[in-house]
Amino acid sequence: MLEPLLGNKTSEKILLYLHVYGEGYSRLLSRVFGMSVSGVYQQLRRLEDGGVIVGFSKGRTRIFKLNPRYPFRSELAALLRKALQFVSEDTKEQYFRGRTRPRRTGKPV
């Protein structure tokens, strides 16, 4: 969908994920989308170098978010919102409707 603009599918998935969930890290993104960690990491670095996303260290994990200081952030958000409207229900269910609300420790799933 946005691949012609962004250059590759991995970046599209990463940006859509960060738009929906607010943050992510390379191992999680690689697990969710079934892509190699190195491929995801390479795109995260490319997006970070371009100022599109920013990274923070939490413990030993590098967490990435969309950069609120990116000059085109509202235009990018509008683009990602629009792109999500074209994502199939199956894909939304698979990738973009995961549980984010808290669950008490030890409570059975």
Partner 1 sequence: MTVAWERLTTAELAAIVCDQLDRCGIRATLVGGACVTIYSDNRYISGDLDFVTDASLKELEKPLRALGFVPTGGRHFEHPRCAAFIIDFPAPPLSIGGDPVREINRLRMPRGTIRLLTPTDCVRDRLAAYYHWNDPQGLEQALMVASSHSIDHALVKRWSKDEKATVKHREFMRMLRRRKGGG
Q: Which stretch binds partner 1 (CB under 8 A): 13-21, 34-42, 65-73, 97-105?
A: 65-73
CB of residue 17 vs partner 1: minimum separation in angstroms?
20
| Closest CB to partner 1 among residues 16, 47 | 47
Burial class (CB in 10 A: 0-12, 13-18, 19+), 47: buried
- The verdict on 69 binding partner 1 (CB under 8 A) reads yes
Q: Does 58 bind partner 1 (CB under 8 A)?
A: no
Residue whose C-alpha is closest to residue 27's, from 46, 40, 12: 40
Q: Residue 63 corresponds to which tokens in the numbers above?
A: 């967490």
- Positions that interact with partner 1 (CB under 8 A): 45, 49-51, 68-69, 71-74
